[in-house]
Amino acid sequence: MPVKGRDVLMRIVDLRSDTKTKPTPEMRRAMFEAEVGDDVSREDPTVNELEETAARMLGKEAGLFLASGTMGNLACLLTHCRRGHEIIVGEMSHIYWAEVASAAAFGGIAYHAVPNEGDGTLDPATVREAIRPDNIHFPETGLICLENTQNRQGGVVLPLSYLAKMRSLADEAGLPLHLDGARIFNAATYLGIPASEIARYFDSVQFCVSKGLGAPVGSLVVGTEDFVDRARKTRKMLGGGMRQAGVIAAAGLTALTEMVDRLADDHLNARVLAEGLAEMPGLEVDLGRVQTNIVNVVVTHDEWTAPAFEEAMGERGVLFHALGPTMVRMVTHADVDRSDIVYALECLGGLLR
C-alpha cells in the first residue's frame, strides 16, 4: 500500500476501519458469474435473492438493496418522516455525527440529539422527555433511532432487555423505531443469537455488507412489505435506483452466507489487541467495552497526542485513526489476522519505549 514517506514493501496492518476489507476470491467469482437484470424493474435475480435472504435472516417481510449505509439510513428516515418532523438520535450516533445532516438537507427533518450513556444506550427517561407534546409551536416527533453496535463508543452492544424497553416506549408514544444496524451481525455474534432477535424490536433496520462482512459495496434495509415498497421509491428519488446491480449484489450474498460466522475471529483479535495495548505505558483501554471488533485507546503518554501517535505509527506500517486529541480507534477485520495483531503490538510497544 503506497503511502507518502513509506517503503511500499513495508508490512502494512490496516486497523483504520473494517471498511478497508477487500472482497474475497469467492466474492470476486460470484460477481463475475452473477445473473443480472434491470433492478429498477425488479428484474435482477441476484438482487432479488439478496433482498429476500436479508429479510429472512433478520425476520422481516422484505428487503431493499442500497449503495451505502448512509443512503439506507436516509431512505428509512425519509420514508418514516415528513418535512418538519423531528427525529430522536444519540449525540454519538453515526446518523447524527457522520451522515452530513442528510435528513435535514433532503427531507427537512430536524435532529433532536440526546446524550449516549457510557454503554451506548439512550436513557429511556431522557428519550421520553424528548418526545414533543402536541403543541402548535413544536415540531412533531416522527421517529426514534438507535445504533447497534455503537460505532464511536467502541463497538459496544445494546442488550436485548434494553431494546425491549425502547420498543415499549416507542409503542406507548405511537412512534416507529429505526435501527442503524451497520454492524448488527457483530452485535448478534457477541450476544450469541441470530440477528433476527435484535431486529424484531424495530420497524426498520439498515445493515451493511461492506464492513466486517467484507463485500466491496452495499447495504440492506429490511422491514414490512409496505415500508420497503415506500422506501424503494425513496431510494429512486435519491438517485439510488440501479440497473444490472447483481454484479455487486452477488458479493453481498456471499457476505451473508459465508462471512457471518467468522466475525468471532475479529472479536477475538480485537480482544488480544486490547489486552496487549492495556499493558503498555501511556495507553489506556477500557477492556469492559471491547465487545466486538473496535478498540478505542486513550493516549496518556507525555510525548504523544493521538494525531501524532497515528502519524508516527503510520510511518511504521500500522494504520489507525485518531478520534480527537487523546483517543485513537483501531478496528479488526477479515484482512487482519493474529500475526498482524502480534506485529502491530510489537511496533506499538517499540515506539512507546
| pLDDT digit string (tens) for the chain, length 353 residues | 444 445 557 899 999 999 999 999 999 999 999 999 999 999 999 999 999 999 999 999 999 999 999 999 999 999 999 999 999 999 999 999 999 999 999 999 999 999 999 999 999 999 999 999 999 999 999 999 999 999 999 999 999 999 999 999 999 999 999 999 999 999 999 999 999 999 999 999 999 999 999 999 999 999 999 999 999 999 999 999 999 999 999 999 999 999 999 999 999 999 999 999 999 999 999 999 999 999 999 999 888 899 999 999 999 999 999 999 999 999 999 999 999 999 999 999 888 87
Q: Residue 76's closest CA among 8, 163, 153, 176?
A: 176
Strand pairing class (327-331; 321-322): antiparallel
Question: How high is the pLDDT of residue 8?
Answer: 57
CATH of 13-21+262-352, one of 3.90.1150.10, 2.60.120.620, 3.40.47.10, 2.40.50.660: 3.90.1150.10
Q: With the C-alpha atoms ordered 88, 92, 94, 98, is the resulting torsion angle positive or negative?
A: positive
Number of residues that make up the chain: 353
Q: In what order do the strands lie in the sheet with 62-66?
A: 62-66, 219-223, 204-208, 177-180, 140-147, 85-90, 110-114
The structural domains of the chain, with segments of one domain joined by +, span: 13-21+262-352, 25-258
Q: Which amino acid is at 261?
A: D
261: number of Cβ within 10 Å: 10
C-alpha distances in Å from residue 290, one per residue of 20, 208, 228, 269, 350? 20, 21, 34, 11, 23
For residues 327 and 17, give the distance between their C-alpha atoms in angstroms, rounded to a whole number: 15
| Topology agreement, domain 13-21+262-352 and domain 25-258 | no
Please return the burial class of 117, using the count of CB atoms within 10 Å of its CB with bins 0-12, 13-18 and 19+: middle
Q: Give the separation between CA 274 and CA 285, rounded to whole angstroms.
A: 7
Q: Which candidate, 86, 81, 80, places its Cα nearest to that of 137?
A: 86
Predicted confidence at residue 10, as pLDDT, reads 87
> What SS3 state is found at 299?
strand
CATH number given to 25-258: 3.40.640.10
Which runs of E-coded beta strand occur in 148-250? 177-180, 204-208, 219-223
Please list the alpha-helical segments (H only) found in the chain. Answer: 25-33, 45-57, 69-80, 94-97, 102-107, 124-130, 160-173, 184-191, 196-199, 225-237, 246-258, 263-278, 306-314, 338-352
SS3 call for 90: strand
What's the pLDDT at 311? 96
Q: For the chain, how big is the Rg over CA atoms in Å? A: 21
Q: Are 197 and 275 in contact (CB under 8 A)?
A: no
Where would I find the beta strands (DSSP E) of 181-333? 204-208, 219-223, 283-284, 294-299, 318-319, 321-322, 327-331
- Contact indicator for 8, 1 with CB cutoff of 8 Å: yes
Q: d(Cα 176, Cα 160) in Å, to the nearest integer? A: 18
Look at residue 149 and give its three-state secondary structure: coil
- The set of residues, in sequence order, having a beta carbon less than 8 Å from that of 22 and lying 6+ positions away, is 214, 216, 335
Confidence (pLDDT) at 302 = 87
Query: Which residue carries 431512505 as its cell?
Result: 75
- How far apart (Å, rounded) are the C-alpha atoms in residues 114 and 210? 28
d(CA 326, CA 349): 18
